[in-house]
C-alpha cells in the first residue's frame, strides 16, 4: 500500500467516526481536573436530554431538564453507558433526544456513567398533526402530554426548532410523566409543485384523500416524503398521478398535456358581500374572491350567508378577450337593507348575461401577515402563492404552513400559529441553503 492510499484510508476513517452518533453543537466543554480521594467519593446525578455526541472530540452534550443548562462533557472508555434494561452500550448507540440519568464523580463533575432513564417513555410513528401549537400539547392514546419552549427538536441528528416540524411529518417523542422533553422527526416532508395546470385552475386537488385544496395558478404543496396519489378535477376533467416525493425536495407535476382543455375554459372571479358568503356553482361549493377556470357553458349560481337573502342566477361562460370576467354579487340583509361599499380597485364590472352586478370589497379592517426574509423567496401559505418576500397579505388566524422557495436553494417550510389578536404579524425566517443537488430534484423538471 502506497503512502497516498494510506492517507486516504486514514481520512475516511476519521470521517466515519465524525459522522456516527448524533450531531454535536459547539458548547462549553467542562474540563476534567485532578481530584483528591475525598472528591472521588462524591457522587452526583441529574436527568438530561442527549443533544449531541462528538466521537472525534470524545464529548457528549447534555441538556439538564431541570435547569435547562446545556453543556458538553468529555468521556472515555471507562465511561459506562447502559440501556434502560441495563445492557451495556457504546456512546454512539445513544440517540439525540434520549433521556438519560447522568452520573458524575467529585466536585469536578467528571462524567462516569449514562443510563437511559427507566422512567422515560417514548412514542414512535406519531403524526405531527397531533401537536397542538396553541395549547402546547400532544394528545396520544387518550392522554394529553404537555411541552414548553425548552423542548429539544432533532431532524437527521441535527438540532432543529418546533416550527421545522410540518403537520405532514411523523415524529418520535420522549418524555417523563405528562411532559414531553424531546421530538425527533423520523419521516419528513417534501413538496409538489404544479405546472401546466391551467385546465384545473378553480377545480380541486386531492392528495391521498387527506389533503383537499382549490387549484390556483401558482401552488407549492407540502406533503410527507414517499409515494402519493394526486387527483385533480375540474368540471368533467380528471387527472390521476402517482408521484414519489423526496424529503426537502420539490416534485414538479407537469400537467401541460391538458393545455388544450384549458383553451376551452373561461375565467371568472366572483367578488361577494358579505366576504364570508358561500358561493355554489351547479351545487358545488367554490371559492369566491379568486379566479376560477370554468368550461364554456351555462351554470346555476347561488350565493348565501347567514342573515342575508340568497342570490340565485345563471352564469354564462363563453369566449372572452379579457383575462377573466369579474362578477360582483352583493347580498341584501334579511331586513331588506343592501350594504354596498366602495370598490376594492378601479376595475369596472364586466357584464355577464344572467348575473346581477354589485360593487363590493373585502373587509377594510382586516390585518396583515408580512414575511420580510429571506428576500427574493417565493412565499406560499398552505400551498397557495402569496408573493415574493418581502410580501404582505391578509391575516387569517390558525395553524399555517409557510413554505419558502427560491431557484437554486433548498425549499423550507415552517409551521406557525397565527394569533387572533387585533394587530398585524411579521415573520423573519433564516436564509435558504444552497441546493447542491438541484439537478436531481425530481423525476421531471419544468421546461
Residues 109 and 127 in one domain: no
For residue 154, pLDDT beyond 60: yes
Q: Which of 140, 162, 187 is the last residue of a domain?
A: 187
User: What pLDDT digit, counting tens, does each position of 213-249 carry?
Assistant: 989 888 999 999 999 999 999 877 889 999 999 999 9
Q: Are 378 and 405 in contact (CB under 8 A)?
A: yes
Residues 100 and 132 in one domain: no
- Please report, to the nearest 10 degrees, the dihedral formed by the alpha carbons of residues 341, 346, 352, 354 taken in order: 10
- Within a domain: residue 391? yes
Residues 88 and 136 in one domain: no
* pLDDT on residue 107: 60
Our CA angle for 85, 88, 91, nearest 5°, is 115
Average pLDDT value over all residues in the chain: 81
Residues 111 and 35 in one domain: yes
Q: Are 120 and 84 in contact (CB under 8 A)?
A: yes
> How many whole angstroms separate alpha carbon 264 and alpha carbon 296?
6
For residue 69, pLDDT beyond 60: yes
Residues 125 and 176 in one domain: yes
> How many whole angstroms separate alpha carbon 317 and alpha carbon 296?
5
* pLDDT on residue 341: 39
Q: Are 301 and 280 in contact (CB under 8 A)?
A: yes
For residue 359, pLDDT beyond 70: no
Q: Which of 137, 160, 187 is the last residue of a domain?
A: 187
Q: What is the CATH number of the domain that holds 177?
A: 2.40.50.320
pTM of the model: 0.67
Element (H, E) at 5: helix 3-19
* pLDDT on residue 283: 83
For residue 159, pLDDT beyond 90: yes
Q: Are 134 and 117 in contact (CB under 8 A)?
A: no
Greater model confidence, 116 or 444:
116
Nearby residues of 334 by Cβ (< 8 Å), 6 or more positions away: 307, 308, 309
Q: What is the CATH number of the domain that holds 419?
A: 2.60.40.1120
For residue 189, pLDDT beyond 90: yes
Residues 124 and 106 in one domain: no
User: What pLDDT digit, counting tens, does each position of 96-123 carry?
Assistant: 999 999 998 866 668 999 999 999 999 9
Nearby residues of 38 by Cβ (< 8 Å), 6 or more positions away: none
* pLDDT on residue 356: 29
Nearby residues of 142 by Cβ (< 8 Å), 6 or more positions away: none
> How many whole angstroms separate alpha carbon 260 and alpha carbon 266?
13
> How many whole angstroms separate alpha carbon 35 and alpha carbon 41?
10
Beta bridge partners of 252: 193
Residues 29 and 86 in one domain: yes
> How many whole angstroms separate alpha carbon 418 and alpha carbon 420?
7
Q: Are 113 and 147 in contact (CB under 8 A)?
A: no
Q: How far is CA 110 from CA 29, 92, 103, 228, 304, in A?
A: 11, 19, 8, 51, 72
User: What pLDDT digit, counting tens, does each position of 33-64 carry?
Assistant: 554 544 555 567 899 999 999 999 999 999 99
DSSP, res 388:
E
User: What pLDDT digit, counting tens, does each position of 304-348 carry?
Assistant: 998 898 888 878 777 666 677 888 888 888 875 544 433 333 333
Residues 178 and 104 in one domain: no
Range of the domain at 168: 120-187
* pLDDT on residue 344: 33
Helix (H, G, I), strand (E, B) or coil at 290: coil
- Looking at 348-387, list the stretches that DSSP marks H as alpha helix, in order from N- to C-terminal side: none
Strands of 42-136 (E only): list them: 43-54, 59-64, 70-74, 80-82, 99-105, 110-116, 120-127, 131-132
Amino acid at each position: 500500500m502506497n503512502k497516498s492510499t494510506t492517507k486516504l484510508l486514514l481520512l475516511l476513517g476519521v470521517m466515519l467516526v465524525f459522522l456516527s452518533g448524533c450531531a454535536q453543537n459547539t458548547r462549553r466543554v467542562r474540563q476534567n481536573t485532578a481530584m483528591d480521594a475525598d472528591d472521588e467519593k462524591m457522587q452526583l446525578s441529574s436527568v438530561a436530554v442527549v443533544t449531541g455526541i462528538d466521537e472525534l472530540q470524545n464529548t457528549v452534550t447534555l441538556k439538564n431538564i431541570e435547569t435547562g443548562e446545556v453543556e458538553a462533557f468529555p468521556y472515555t472508555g471507562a465511561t459506562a453507558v447502559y440501556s434502560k434494561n441495563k445492557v451495556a452500550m457504546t456512546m454512539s448507540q445513544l440517540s439525540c433526544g434520549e433521556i438519560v440519568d447522568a452520573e458524575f464523580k467529585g466536585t469536578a463533575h467528571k462524567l462516569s456513567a449514562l443510563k437511559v432513564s427507566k422512567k422515560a417513555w417514548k412514542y414512535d410513528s406519531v403524526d405531527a398533526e397531533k401537536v397542538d401549537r396553541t395549547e402546547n400539547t400532544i394528545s396520544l392514546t387518550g392522554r394529553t402530554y404537555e411541552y414548553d419552549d425548552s423542548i429539544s427538536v432533532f431532524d437527521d441528528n441535527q438540532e432543529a426548532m418546533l416550527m421545522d416540524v410540518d403537520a405532514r411529518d411523523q415524529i418520535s417523542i420522549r418524555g417523563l410523566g405528562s411532559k414531553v422533553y424531546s421530538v425527533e422527526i423520523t419521516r419528513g416532508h417534501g413538496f409538489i409543485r404544479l405546472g401546466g395546470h391551467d385546465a384545473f385552475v378553480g377545480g380541486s386537488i386531492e392528495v391521498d384523500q387527506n389533503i383537499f385544496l382549490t387549484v390556483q395558478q401558482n401552488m407549492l404543496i407540502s406533503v410527507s416524503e414517499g409515494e402519493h396519489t394526486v387527483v385533480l378535477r375540474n368540471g368533467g376533467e380528471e387527472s390521476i398521478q402517482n408521484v414519489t416525493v423526496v424529503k426537502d425536495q420539490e416534485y414538479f407535476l407537469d400537467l401541460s398535456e391538458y393545455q388544450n382543455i384549458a383553451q376551452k375554459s373561461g375565467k371568472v372571479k366572483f367578488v361577494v358581500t358579505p366576504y364570508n358568503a358561500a358561493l355554489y356553482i351547479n351545487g358545488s361549493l367554490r371559492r369566491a374572491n379568486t379566479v376560477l377556470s370554468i368550461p364554456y357553458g351555462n351554470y346555476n349560481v347561488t350565493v348565501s350567508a347567514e342573515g342575508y337573502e340568497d342570490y340565485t342566477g345563471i352564469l354564462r361562460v363563453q369566449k372572452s378577450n379579457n383575462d377573466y370576467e369579474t362578477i360582483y354579487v352583493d347580498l341584501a340583509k334579511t331586513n331588506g337593507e343592501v350594504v354596498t361599499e366602495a370598490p376594492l380597485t378601479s376595475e369596472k364590472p364586466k357584464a355577464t348575461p344572467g348575473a346581477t352586478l354589485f360593487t363590493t370589497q373585502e373587509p377594510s379592517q382586516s390585518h396583515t401577515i408580512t414575511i420580510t426574509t429571506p428576500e427574493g423567496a417565493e412565499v406560499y401559505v398552505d400551498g397557495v402563492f402569496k408573493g415574493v418576500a418581502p410580501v404582505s397579505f391578509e391575516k387569517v388566524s390558525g395553524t399555517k404552513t409557510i413554505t419558502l422557495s427560491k431557484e437554486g436553494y433548498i425549499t423550507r417550510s415552517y409551521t406557525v400559529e397565527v394569533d387572533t389578536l387585533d394587530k398585524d404579524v411579521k415573520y423573519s425566517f433564516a436564509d435558504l441553503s444552497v441546493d447542491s443537488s438541484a439537478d436531481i430534484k425530481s423525476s421531471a423538471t419544468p421546461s
